[in-house]
Structure 1
């Protein structure tokens, strides 16, 4: 994305976790997977394991997504140039998106009118033809709706939507839906619905008319969680049966056969006599749809999961023109359960009894089960999304040998802070999902040279409290960071040897080996703590003591947490490895604050760390200074009366700038004596804005700084003659509250700068700042010129408040830079910014 100002902004990486909601994920016929990440609809490509984009538009958490055509209709979608996606949120809004396959561009088509009053729980749809689809939606307000969608036949045309029917399903809401055309080519459709009353309800009717309640299927003993119709299945050369699979919190899966008996005449059906077989042992109700009669029978009961079965899905039909009707529906079902496993079920060839033929899953302590499982369009891959916001992908590499594959990963709650690694080769992020994660570009011989492929390479901290802030310690020595959480303690972490070697493997040049692989690092990794607090080191010489864990007793229990096995990775790790074998040991705890930690920063020399906590009074709002190395408290700075929200040291560490909820900013002078003692003085404190000041940032080449506030303004100030602060300029009012700022120098000239501004609406703007200096170093008249360089494309930006922005320079001349950002939408983003 470029602008006339000569700045080009390109997306490099998006990291995000999946909302922990059951119907949240959909795998489309396009080969792409959609999922909700807080208010955003995220799209990822399983082939590259990268999130391609996030779609802005929802005002509430995205509950469900559904592709048109979905993977079930991939055999019909070969000629389509445009694919569509439906997404529903917790406010009841449903949005239709269009993807052009030619250029990969997305378009917000429309918001479904008269949408639900409460959260959408499920969306299901079918393709009637290349330009016509139907979909059904349910909501926790007890309303189910059926819609018709007509897509434009030419580029640029309008999609038309109409509500065919809307009806109440009672006080117990429905959470599972499946829609299908009834066999017999009579234009009849059937909608299966299940939810909190433990029954499967079938409604049928014509494609254009109202639905009538056909029958109820009573067999499950707990909530229905998932339903899926097959396409018509050929039995004895006739395709007059469709199968419905249902799963429940009663841990069971049931397969129901809906068979066309024949046309009705004078109210009596024409029945074909057939012998009762084991595979059709229980006849169910009959119903009439149009001029045809259908018989439902319970085909099979599948028992194998040990916990709630959250999803079941038929394998997508395969193209097979020899069948006579263009496709072949495989008899294969995928189920996903809270017992941390997915299973594939198929009928045995001789007896026809359905058996579990494949089981895959996660055996780590941290995967608390799967919320859903999905087939790829060609049936060679299966995807699960889990309680930890994570994806798990397996691919059939031949002979039912299912191997784990790389997938995108990220936080599943608000990302509160980010920092670049000391040498800029990775991004560290912390979140309210109680984890710290490290993302880095992973260069391989087969990757394109002009494109960085980023992955999560480590999860240094898995904690028992929401994490609010982090700072990477600068200066020489090992990689270290300090994090602060919803507790009164700051914790210091040090990189273990396994991480240093893994980091070396991410680069083809091995450029960081001399600096990072230190021979004196004796710690290989860390073990998870029982309560999710202190992570204990695993020492290099103790590696041989780690027992082989392949016996039956090694299955984790609540009483015993198995040992971690610190690993050096030669390719990007998958979820199970990240969550278990990439922890960093905790080296120190910093006690002193009276409340939960809120903000942290480190100086540029790597000598001091400043910390602040949540505060309602001046005594609690003091800022603590810690000496790096000894980790002694060397100062308590008092100035503010409420929470200090952001702090930053000036480029030469002479000044510490702090901003607060009390609408004031403070500038402290920090001096180090020859004996190593630290002295500090309050140079200036003044009310800078009319509302909370959320962020601040120093000019990297001078003593100017920016402050950003909830009052939608950014102000630029200057420290003059090291004795006073004066206002240089106020930027024009912005569209939303300012929540993040980061200033970077351009072209290594101290008189030019680029200020990145992140806002509460998720958008990011880049402003150019330029000025002339007088001989004494102060800014000369006419002062500072500020102009908007570029508004970053909303499809690249966050969809909720930006929490933090951080620059790093890629080139010496300052024309190639990277901007990292994090936000409330669970996303970590990295942009390439090129200034010509």
Structure 2
């Protein structure tokens, strides 16, 4: 294959979980959802269930996002060509972004000046006209700031931002905000805020600022968690009242009414006293108008803290003179694992719960927030496990809410990533204590859209943070070994339910044939009571009658819901992933003295090498394990500190290890007989000035690359099987080198592509050629390298890249595209499509 050095890269997949904070998610009028994933702002499209991009800019974890306009103001966004997005982080920084709808391009607009001194906890904004928005932000530093944003008149134009007010609210900070225009054309705004003092504080001000404290509403008996002001409610052709809904950790929801005094609505309610009669509360004065506030309703139904409440977005009104109609419908989300929709009954006006979703998901661990889609036909929750849950109303004559596909991913640092034996899927492990498998789900012929990637299994759910993983290459069933913050490595084997699911995902093109499936007697796995071991569910056990184990009626620790391993015929949703796609654990490997740090397997699939965190030579041993018998067949000593990465050469003759002690070691490995392994230290050499984080072999020979915290990558070659020579040093990088992966392009010219991942999240591709003489010895100069491509920061990670891995493609040699997987500290797993010119 001829190749002229030019490379193009496209995003194939981003997997990421949502930060576990309230107010983190916002659904925009442009029908895109924004959420914080560590210090990235991730954008996903609910229609395709794919994460489109991540926006780099924050140095700390993102706490909250807010679209301008959000779904509530979709009716004002008809002619808008640019939509704005605000994001606030744990350092108090707020960033403004711009999305151009015409070309779907993102632009970093500005960082809001005078940041908060502590983390931003909530941002809420309203559109006061087609091109003018006002937003408020609150922080744990006890301040609430109000800002005005004027949208740019042309694409790429400047946004005008001005500070209207900064309010100090005291030592008990506010955590919930809501803004609205007061009805009656007064030109006044009302700002509702609530927090740790259990009260709702109402401030009133003009559009130019000067917000003054108006009154406070008491009633809740615990921290306020969420507030939402409705749009003006129309009665008899005029807008004369607003509704405010509040939720709290006291498990209740309250609806408050703010009615313009001396308005018809107020006098009508005075005459007609019904069950929905209210208690007069304080009066809010705004300029020459005053508003009577009263408690309209108290909603009790959730069994745990109610983290969010939100009015259904308005629908365009058919009545002349009324721009939009505010539906009487509220969505609430709670830590009791449910979301509820509340509406008033037609006859009595009493608010009742009309829809409940989510109560069956024993894996969700509660919801941190719920959101309406702009047209009100879908509701989205984000949960404790970083997961999304989306329901859509598919009923025609009556409500029928059905779960929909959503993106998913890790919600903590992703530590390691590896491709399946034949490249059908990618397996990632994380400090969120899960192992996840992502794969492209092949569309049926004739359907539009390309194959869409999704998470298809969660083989390991564990009680420890997982640090490393390796897939056992070679024939037979899919197996992997993972190492966590414990001294044991665990071996897992693919059950039959997964192999059948993989067949559906790859449209029957899986390398695992029907004949091989006959040998697999394990259907799936069950979690043990303490969550530390996964027990197999055998095929024959499924056919036995339940209760035949003799333990019927015994209340033991083991009485947790049984997993039901299923053959998935379409991309799974969170409920299926979290419980029914576990793999059984077949072996535990004991030997290391500390928590495991790195693992690798040879290409033949017969040896696994493991290392652990170490401060001394005896603990820094590399253990070799025989695949199958799982006996320890070698203990390799060379390093004095943690071995950070290991890799076998492509002919399995050498094992390369790099360490925190700034040295690399090369061992010769030879298999003798069935169980025997002969190994010898070829060389140990100090290679860098700082920790060596990563290494990778040239697929065509005995050359390898090492990458270090000293921002350099060096290329080395083994000469005559006994010594190592440095071939070249790549130009210094902008940040510490954390990950390397070398793949072959052209065997004749010994050309390869070296992917370099850095601590700042950026990835570069380098074209590396190794020059040899006819006798096989290294020529002079031994290697040449040229930068092929710097990946666009919008497609890269936003914090350290932890691992890179090229797909082991079994495609023809002349294939002009390859896939590169990466994982990082920003909780993301990414797959790039790399096309050669």
TM-score bracket relative to the smaller structure: over 0.9
Question: Following the alignment from structure 1 to structure 2, what is the Cα–Cα distance between the partners of residues 574 and 62?
Answer: 25
State the distance in 2 between where 1:65 and 1:755 align: 36
8 A Cα contact 2:81 2:155, kept in partner:
no
Q: Write the distance in 2 (CA, Å) between the matches of 1:325 and 1:77.
A: 16
Aligned partners of 1:747 and 1:814 also within 8 Å: no
- Of 317, 320, 329, the residue aligned with 1:320 is 317
Are residues 177 and 355 of structure 1, via their aligned partners in 2, closer, same or farther at CA, if it must alter by over 3 Å?
A: same
In the other structure, the counterpart of 2:830 is 829
Deviation at 1:156, TM superposition (A): 2.0
Aligned to 1:57: 57
1:136-161 CA distance string (max 9 Å, x none) = 00000001000000111112210011
Whether 2:341 is the aligned partner of 1:341: answer no
1:376 aligns with 2:373: yes
* Separation of aligned partners in 2, 1:516 and 1:229: 62
Cα deviations by residue, 1:167-221 (Å, 9 ceiling, x for unpaired): 1110011100000000011110000000000000000010102110000000000
In the alignment, structure 1 residue 298 sits paired with structure 2 residue 295? yes
Task: Give 1:775's aligned residue.
Answer: 774
Are 2:351 and 1:354 equivalent residues in the alignment?
yes
Provide the rounded CA distance (Å) in 2 between the counterparts of 1:190 and 1:676.
77
Q: Residues 47 and 111 of structure 1: is their aligned pair in 2 closer, same or farther, counting only changes over 3 Å? A: same
Determine the structure 2 residue equivalent to 1:444: 443
Report whether the alignment pairs 1:604 with 2:619: no
C-alpha contact 1:668 1:683 (8 A) present in aligned 2 = yes
What is the distance in 2 between the residues matched to 1:493 and 1:239?
63
Equivalent runs, 1:247-326 vs 2, <5 Å:
247-262=247-262, 274-322=271-319, 324-326=321-323
Q: Matched residues in 2 for 1:123 and 1:532: separation?
A: 38
Contact 2:259 2:291 in 1 (8 A): yes
User: What is the CA–CA distance in structure 1 between the aligned matches of 2:155 and 2:400, rounded to whole Å?
Assistant: 43
Q: Does 1:435 align with 2:444?
A: no
The residue correspondences of 1:39-118 to structure 2 (distance < 5 A) are: 39-118=39-118
Q: How far is 1:516 from its partner?
A: 8.0
**Contact 2:406–2:573 at 8 Å: present in 1 too?**
yes
Further displaced range: 5-14 or 672-681: 672-681
Q: CA deviation at 1:749?
A: 3.6
Q: How does 1:527-606 map to 2 (within 5 A)?
A: 527-545=526-544, 547=546, 560-606=559-605
Q: Number of matched residues?
A: 824
Paired residue for 1:759? 758
Unaligned runs of 5+ residues in structure 2 are: none
Q: Which residue of 1 aligns with 2:722?
A: 723
Cα pair 2:502 2:510 within 8 Å, conserved:
no
- Please give the secondary structure, in 2, of the residue aligned with 1:822: strand
Where 1:244 maps in the other structure, the secondary structure is strand
CA contact (8 A) 1:15 1:828 kept: yes
CA positional deviation for 1:4: 9.8
Equivalent residue in structure 1 for 2:390, among 389, 393, 408? 393
Alpha-carbon distance in 2 for matches of 1:103, 1:109: 17
3-state DSSP class of the match of 1:167?
strand
What is the rounded CA distance, in whole Å, between the counterparts of 1:446 and 1:227 in structure 2? Answer: 47
Q: Give the structure-1-normalised TM-score.
A: 0.96
Partner of residue 21, structure 1: 21
| Structure 1 match to 2:38 | 38
Match of 2:181 in 1: 181
Give the aligned partner of residue 624 of structure 2: 625
CA distance in 2, matches of 1:605, 1:515: 23
Aligned CA distance change for structure 1 residues 805 and 362 (closer, same or farther; 3 Å): farther
Structure 1: distance between partners of 2:704 and 2:448: 37
Q: CA deviation at 1:512?
A: 3.0
Comparing 801-810 with 788-797, greater Cα deviation is found at 801-810
TM-aligned CA distance change 1:86 to 1:647, over 3 Å = same
CA shift for structure 1 position 751:
1.2
1:802-821, aligned counterparts within 5 Å? 802-808=801-807, 809=809, 810-813=811-814, 815-821=816-822
User: Could you tell me how far 1:6 is from its partner in structure 2?
Assistant: 1.7
- Cα-to-partner distance string for 1:399-427 (whole Å, 9 max, x where unaligned): 11100000000000000000001110000
Deviations 1:499-549 (A, max 9, x none): 00000001235353527852110000000121111100000011134759x
Q: Which stretch shifts more, 781-790 or 389-398? A: 781-790
Aligned partner of residue 517 in structure 2, secondary structure: coil
Structure 2 counterpart SS, 1:468: strand
* Conservation of the 8 A alpha-carbon contact between 1:767 and 1:789: yes
8 A Cα contact 1:280 1:297, kept in partner = no
Residue 706 (structure 2) pairs with residue 707 (structure 1): yes
Distance in 2 between the 1:710 and 1:614 partners? 18
| Cα offset, 1:262, TM superposition | 4.7
Per mean C-alpha deviation after superposition, the further-off stretch among 413-422 and 155-164 is 155-164
Instruction: Tell me, in whole angstroms, the C-alpha distance in 2 between the residues paired with 1:4 and 1:298.
Output: 72
Contact conserved, 1:279 with 1:299, CA < 8 A, in 2?
Answer: yes
Q: 1:702 to 1:140 in 2, by over 3 A?
A: same
The answer for the alignment partner of 1:791 in structure 2 is: 790
Q: Residue deviations 1:536-569, cap 9 Å, x none?
A: 0000011134759xxxx99x99873110000000
The Cα offsets for residues 348-392 of structure 1, whole Å up to 9 and x where unpaired, read as 000000000000014343211000000000000000000000000
Aligned to 1:225: 225
Q: 2: distance between equivalents of 1:557 and 1:257?
A: 51
Indicate the larger mover: 407-416 or 283-292: 283-292
Equivalent pair of 2:16/2:828 in contact (CA under 8 Å): yes
Distance 1:450 1:575, change over 3 A: closer
- Unaligned residue ranges in structure 1 (runs of 5+): 264-268
Deviates more, 1:90-99 or 1:75-84: 75-84
Q: Residues 264-286 of structure 1: CA distance to partner in whole angstroms, max 9, x if unpaired?
A: xxxxx999954444323211100
Matches within 5 A, 1:470-489: 470-489=469-488
Range moving further from structure 2, 226-235 or 490-499: 226-235
Give SS of 2:518's match.
Answer: coil
2:364 corresponds to 1:367: yes
Counterparts of 2:544 and 2:465, CA distance in 1: 33
Residue equivalent to 2:216: 216
Partner of 1:460 in structure 2?
459
Q: Distance in 2 between matches of 1:496 and 1:581?
A: 11
Moved more, 147-156 or 51-60: 147-156
CA-to-aligned-CA distance 1:477-504 (integer Å, 9 cap, x gap): 1000000000000000000000000000
Counterpart-to-counterpart distance in 2, 1:639 and 1:684: 9
Partner SS, residue 634 of structure 1: strand
Aligned to 2:148: 148
Deviations along 1:247-267, whole A, 9 cap, x unmatched?
00000000000111159xxxx
Q: Give the corresponding residue for 1:660.
A: 659
Q: Is this contact kept in 1: 2:337–2:361, CA < 8 A? A: no
**Distance of aligned partners of 1:83 and 1:448 in 2 relative to their CA distance in 1, 3 Å threshold:** farther
Residue deviations 1:669-713 (CA, integer Å, cap 9, x gap):
001124541011100101110000000000011000000000000
| TM superposition shift of 1:782 | 2.1
Verify the 8 A CA contact 2:529 2:558 in the aligned structure 1. no
Q: Is the partner of 2:498 in helix, strand or coil?
A: helix
- CA change 1:391–1:272 in 2 (3 A) is closer
Secondary structure of 1:280's aligned partner: coil
Cα pair 1:745 1:814 within 8 Å, conserved = no
